[in-house]
Amino acid sequence: MSQLSWRSFEHRLPKMGERTIRRYVETSPHYRGQVPAHLHLHMAHTCREFGRMFARAVREHDELREDELELFRRRGRERGAEGLPVSEFVHAYLLAAEEMWAEIQDLSDGSPPGETTAVLLKCLHQVLNAAVQAHQKEFQTADHEQREAARALVRRLAAGEFVPEPADVRLASAYGVLALRFAADPADSVGDAVGRHLAGQRKARLLLQHLRRELSGDVLAALDPDGGLLLLPAASDSGEAALIEARQAVPRAHQTTGVEITGAFAHAADLSEIPAAVAEAERLLRLNAVADTVAVLADHLFEYQLNHDSAATPQLRALAERLGGEPDLTTTLRTYFETDFNRRETARKLHVHPNTVDNRLSRIANLTGADPRTAKGLLLLGASLGLAG
């Protein structure tokens, strides 16, 4: 092919990458035809660089350079860390090579120069050799064991078990406990069990990577695809600095990864307080319904106090349930609380007459036995709404 034809080949690389991705997801049981965003981001880039490297080697009659192979090593390490089977990894590269050969055939009218085939096979051999070695090393590396050891360490600290000073981790004297919940990603439900596992591990790894970038100190992590715990080194007398970092890190990680994150924070003044702080943070996380925020106890004092089961809990829940068939009454009651029991302001927000608000408050009293126009009734109904969420 002429020099101009090689430029044409490079111009076709983006389309070639798209075809490679489509063929890959159609043939892989892990995706079943659905193309997750990360493939567009990483696999398309890898295909383009593979093609550019091959074109340069042909044009310059040169060997591949070590720096050119570094990208493929990195991709191998990333996929190995996620647990992608090596057979899937090799399959993707072979599809890319097939698509490249199809472009060469098209541009040369079916008669590519003799050396082209040999160079393509040599490039494929070197790329696969570098990538698969890196994949296998990461797949079996001690780094994986270290990550699992860190997860086990967090769980033991959370359970209040005795933990001797680890050889490779220096424990802080105090920690901020950050409990996290990750929203479901479309890739979480795509493909078979292996595909869903890969998507989940990729999400957890990516989120941890970005959270750690925003947080200082030796953060201990135990994250799963749906959330988990981070232990942030903190001062013994206050967790304020760690809380400020957490409140900055959570929305930034969401912006970077596209995964919605909800958090809750509690402070453990020493290692013995970690179990109590974990219990507090996890309970607060259940109460926090606002994404990109990190809740603390001061934000949810009333709901937190109510969120302890007692003999009264079912009866308090039942008050709110009696209004379930009439959503207008529940909306009116919530608005009545939000306006500090101002019936005229309640009416204005609901776009109704104040007399309508009075009538609804009377119906609420009749249905529940708790009159929202009395102090006792307000307390009971407020507790009921707090438990209902």
Residues 33 and 91 in one domain: yes
Residues 36 and 122 in one domain: yes
233 pLDDT exceeds 90? yes
Contact 50, 127 (CB under 8 A): yes
Residues 160 and 246 in one domain: yes
Residues 319 and 260 in one domain: no
- Report which of residues 153 and 141 the model is more confident about: 153
pLDDT, residue 380, reads 84
Residues 6+ apart with CB under 8 A from 78: 42, 138
In CATH, what number is assigned to the domain containing residue 24? 1.10.490.10
Residues 220 and 153 in one domain: yes
Query: Is 338 part of a structural domain of the chain?
Result: yes
* Cα distance between residue 358 and residue 360, in whole Å: 5
Domain that holds residue 274: 143-297
* Cα distance between residue 21 and residue 18, in whole Å: 5
Query: Is 308 part of a structural domain of the chain?
Result: no
The tokens of 146 are what? Answer: 């270290």
- Average pLDDT along the chain: 85
Dihedral in degrees, nearest 10, Cα atoms 58, 61, 63, 64: -30
Query: Is 131 part of a structural domain of the chain?
Result: yes
Residues 184 and 109 in one domain: no
The region of weakest confidence among 34-43, 90-99, 135-144, 291-300 is 135-144
Residues 80 and 117 in one domain: yes
- Mean of pLDDT values over 339-359: 93
Residues 6+ apart with CB under 8 A from 267: 174, 175, 176, 177, 234, 238, 239, 242, 243, 277
- Mean of pLDDT values over 90-96: 92
- Mean of pLDDT values over 273-288: 92
Residue pointed to by tokens 């490039």: 123
- Taking only the tens place, the pLDDT of each residue in 110-143 is 777 778 888 899 999 999 999 999 888 877 664 5
Query: Is 304 part of a structural domain of the chain?
Result: no
Residues 236 and 342 in one domain: no
Residues 318 and 370 in one domain: yes
Report the predicted TM-score, pTM, of the whole model to 2 decimal places: 0.56
Residue pointed to by tokens 């307000």: 378
* Cα distance between residue 130 and residue 127, in whole Å: 5
**Domain stop point among 80, 104, 139:** 139
Query: Is 305 part of a structural domain of the chain?
Result: no
* Cα distance between residue 292 and residue 250, in whole Å: 6
Query: Is 44 part of a structural domain of the chain?
Result: yes
Q: Domain tally for the chain?
A: 3
Q: β-strands 175-182, 261-268: how paired? A: antiparallel
The region of weakest confidence among 180-194, 336-350, 357-371 is 180-194
Residues 290 and 148 in one domain: yes
Q: β-strands 261-268, 294-295: how paired? A: parallel
Let me know how long the chain is: 389
- Taking only the tens place, the pLDDT of each residue in 184-228 is 876 666 667 777 777 777 888 888 888 888 898 889 999 888 899
H/E run at residue 223: strand 220-224
* Cα distance between residue 325 and residue 357, in whole Å: 18
